[in-house]
Structure 1
Amino acid sequence: MENLPRDVAFDILSRLPVSSLVQIKCVCKSWRALAEDTRLPSIHHARATSRNPCLILNSTCQIENKLQFICSGDGFNQNSSKVRSLDARFNTAMSEYQVVGSCNGLLCISNSYYYDPITICNPIIGDYIELPKSTQFPMQEVALEFGCLPTSMQYKVVRFVFYIKSEIWSLESHAEILTLGTDHTWRSIGPVPGRLELKPSQALVNGALHWVTLFFQYTPGPRLRVISFDLAEEKFRWIELPSFDCIFTSNCHLVALEGCLSAVHHLGDKGIDIWVMKEYDVEESWIKKYAIGMYVPASLVETTRPQNYEVVCILNKGKILLRYKNGAFVLYNPESEQFNDLTISGLPKSFRTIVHVESLLLIEEILGINTDVLNSKVKSCVGESSIA
């Protein structure tokens, strides 16, 4: 490697996952110097979309509150993969925490019970910042969201608050937003429309967050629709789903597949259909792209319903990664219609799966801001690996 021109060496290293770059530092001094060169992070970050993402596993078990990850490597083609731990240095102020979302190498994390503090971190290299606290409705039911505008690369955190108005005993809602690098405090953007559940956004597409919700009307009756929140305009909008027969939110979930908003329709013991919106916000552009039959992984226990699974992402080679509720991961090949059970050791008992793109860049470099604007200091462990 040391005999190669510097640009060629960087080109090779930029194609590797971060975990591999951490390991090659131990080979020899010359390799360590290459891996720690200040030019490599930006080159590596620019190639992020050409690599398979990694999976962040957020344990939902109180006694196992930790972050772990799975490196997809060449697309989970190995016979087995191993779960690795992330040394979450931000967790000293949070005994219980949850991942709000992932965007361009950054995670947004909050306290599971009180929702503050809210932290933005790069879990791979360990640096993080804490955001200013909201002074309104601090102890109410809260849902948080995190996203980025693809054109301006502005990052925003949205806070949805639901509370009981005591004098009339009605459920009220309120939304606030914080633009990283611009806002010193949270800004009010009005009420939340519809019956938005306290769940993370299911898909960040075209600079907007999306949720499936049940829309009530007398004629022709209740139906599922999508509520979107445009991060640029900071407004809510409705998007129509394809015309499949479904009125239960548990039978439909959204996912971003190859940059498109996609709806997964669960058909019970018949499998799933995956609908893809080829042109964003154009109802007529919905197409049923995949029809995946029912499959029962070998690890599935008899008491678990086999239809309880979700579409995680599409890997670079076109295979679809599925995750069953018992934690089993399965690869589906649309061309051959074959399923492949994945052997992954060290999975937590209960967890959420977050698709994440690794980055070597510091938070300030990704956000493109001076974090002093946030009235917060970057706490960094640069030069140390967060991978245990």
Structure 2
Amino acid sequence: MKRTRESIASSMKRTRESIASSTTRHRSKPAKELGSFADLSSLIITNILLQLPIKDVSICKCVCKTWNALISEPYFATLYSQHASLGFLLRTRNLRLVSRTLHLLEYQPKKFRRAFDIDVVNFNPKFKLPLRNANDTYQPTPYKPEDDKFGVVNSCNGLLCLSEPYTVNHLVVCNPIIGEFIRLPEAIGIANTRKPICAALGFQPKTNEYKVIRMWKRCDGWCYKSDVMVVEMHTLGTTTWRNVEVDPMFSFTRLGSPTCVNGALHWINYDDKNKTRSILCFNFESEKFQSFPSPPHPHHKRLSITMVELKGFLYICESTVNSCVVWLMKKYGIGESWTRVFCSDNFNGIPLCFGLCRPVKHFENGGGALLIQNSYSCDSFIYYEPETRVFKVYSVDGAVSPWFELFPHSPGLISLKDVVKGGNIEVQNVYSRCAKVRVPEENESLSKIRRI
């Protein structure tokens, strides 16, 4: 870490000297010395870059070799992931399309507020997902969603976990911003013996390792044994999966909203039999499932519940057709620290017929921001700031399908080459491997249009 900082400082010093000498040569007459960007210390420049959205940071890499080297450092990528605001990835939702194009919507308060004064704001930039069937990449045959489409499982530190839409096999981890992806080892001989439940990507800070968990229910003939769970864990950079023991007291059949916080994965556990919902937690250090306190408000079966991480805090969002409640866990693992930070029955008299609610700004001193996706038409969302009562509804236009999917994602620059740390795993790039491949929805130009 020390050597990295010294190399960055040395590079910035050379840049300052180069720019200073160039300025001296081209000065025609004495003038008052003015400070320049090159006069700033590497620490200040790093802090400035950390405040920029991902698109601007990518542009800064093209300014000079020194900035490119600074931004490409693993140390900078780690810092950026810690400072990045929660954004959202949108993609076309259609069973007949492969839907490999992701449109990034970063949370920028000023940009959102200025957008209220104009009619259309384009979603920019956009990125590609890899195709599932790599063998057909260069063949001029029509692409089939059932063969080539990936489902988005979850996001962690700027990395996405992808899987076959209806199973937890054919797993891939990618960074859509820089285009890198790796394919995880396939499970062998399980297609007819196990029923998939879920998978998720998480991060263990103590060992600086990324790990993927997948869960199955064991099948005995035509009957799935609800009390026999199979849990496997894979560490990125290795070539195998290993079994994890499961305490029989933990039973789960349907899990949602996988969220990694504090070195542990969390899911919303849907108990369809007893009509209850709770939080399931898997700790990477102990490699065990454990109970986790839920908000005091009862999880009614008609509630739509989502869970997200924001600035290291765990959030639970509950919504119905006419209400929205947001809970914040102020002290991790302490049930009494669950605090209701937002509650509303309507927005300016408009009923809440919007289902999936997620915070996009940390709630501090009563201030925060929400993004709420329409649960009916799935073609619009609400942006709302409780503190300022800024409230607008946007529809999404320009897609080849009237429906879209919305995924919480904090964009990052972490390279999978630094994650796997070895020569055993092939890190591929979607732009070099699939650059010539285009599917119908890649021609779309999404925009958010002010509706109200």
Normalising by the residue count of structure 2, what TM-score does the alignment of the two structures yield?
Answer: 0.70
Letter in 2 for 1:235: K
SS in structure 2 opposite 1:112? Answer: coil
Give 2:209's match in structure 1, choosing from 151, 154, 158.
154
Whole-angstrom CA distance in 2 between matches of 1:47 and 1:155: 17
Are 2:186 and 1:133 equivalent residues in the alignment? yes
Aligned to 2:83: 50
TM superposition shift of 1:291: 1.0
Name the amino acid aligned to 1:39: L
Shift of 1:236: 1.1
What is the CA–CA distance in structure 2 between the aligned matches of 1:344 and 1:312, rounded to whole Å?
Answer: 18
User: How far off is 1:95 after superposition?
Assistant: 0.5
For 1:249 and 1:178, the matched residues in 2 are separated by 35
- Deviations, residues 131-152 of structure 1 (Å, cap 9, x unaligned): 1112252354322111112333
For residue 156 of structure 1, report the CA deviation from its aligned partner: 0.6
Matched ranges for 1:189-208 at <5 A: 189-191=244-246, 193-197=250-254, 199-201=256-258, 203-208=259-264
**Equivalents in 1 of 2:132, 2:175: separation in Å?**
13
CA offset at residue 250 of structure 1? 4.2
Q: Give the stretch that moved more between structures: 81-90 or 93-102.
A: 81-90
1:39 aligns with 2:95: no
In the alignment, which residue of structure 1 is the partner of 2:95?
A: 62
Alpha-carbon RMSD:
3.6
Q: CA 1:161–1:297 in structure 2 vs 1: closer, same or farther (change >3 Å)?
A: farther
Q: Secondary structure at the match of 1:19?
A: helix
Q: Aligned with 1:242: secondary structure?
A: coil
Residue 268 of structure 1: CA displacement? 4.1
- 1:324 aligns with 374
* d(CA) in 2 for partners of 1:249, 1:114: 26
Q: 1:210 aligns with which of 247, 266, 271?
A: 266
- 1 or 2 for the larger relative contact order (CA 8 Å, sep ≥6)? 1
1:210–1:327 distance in 2 versus 1, CA, 3 Å: farther
Aligned residues of 1:96 and 1:113 also touching (Cα < 8 A): no
Cα drift, residue 358 of structure 1: 2.2
The aligned runs of 1:115-130 (5 Å cut-off) are 115-130=168-183
Number of residue pairs aligned between Structure 1 and Structure 2: 367
State the Cα distance separating 1:385 from its structure 2 match: 12
Q: Is the 8 A contact 1:145 1:159 kept in 2?
A: yes
1:211/1:226 contact within 8 Å kept:
yes
Question: Which stretches in structure 2 are left out of the alignment for 5+ residues?
Answer: 1-15, 20-35, 135-146, 436-441, 444-452
Name the structure 2 match of 1:86. Answer: 127
Percent same amino acid among aligned pairs?
A: 21
Q: CA deviation at 1:11?
A: 4.7
State the one-letter code of the partner of 2:54. V
Say which SS state the counterpart of residue 253 (structure 2) adopts. coil
> Counterparts of 1:1-388 in structure 2 under 5 Å?
4-5=37-38, 7=42, 11-23=47-59, 31=63, 33=65, 37-42=68-73, 43=76, 45-64=78-97, 65-72=99-106, 74-75=108-109, 76-79=112-115, 80-83=120-123, 84-93=125-134, 95-113=148-166, 115-139=168-192, 140-142=194-196, 143-166=198-221, 170-171=225-226, 172-181=228-237, 183-191=238-246, 193-197=250-254, 199-201=256-258, 203-214=259-270, 223-248=276-301, 250-269=303-322, 271-295=323-347, 306-315=352-361, 318-325=368-375, 326-342=378-394, 344-346=396-398, 349-365=402-418, 367=419, 369-372=420-423, 375-380=424-429
Give 1:72 deviation, angstroms. 1.7
Q: CA deviation at 1:90?
A: 4.9
Change (3 A) 1:234 1:63: same
Q: 1:361 to 1:228 in 2, by over 3 A?
A: closer
Decide which structure has greater helix share: 2
Answer yes or no: is the 8 Å Cα contact 1:276–1:289 preserved in 2.
yes
| Contact 2:89/2:103, CA 8 A, preserved across alignment | yes
User: How far has the Cα of 1:165 moved from its partner?
Assistant: 1.5
**Matched residue of 2:347: which SS?**
coil
- Change in CA separation of 1:258 and 1:294 when aligned onto 2, cut-off 3 Å: farther
Mapped contact 2:255–2:269 kept (Cα < 8 A): no
Contact 1:160 1:175 in 2 (8 A): yes
TM-score in terms of structure 1 length: 0.80
CA distance in 2, matches of 1:324, 1:136: 40
- Structure 1, unmatched stretches of 5+, are 299-304
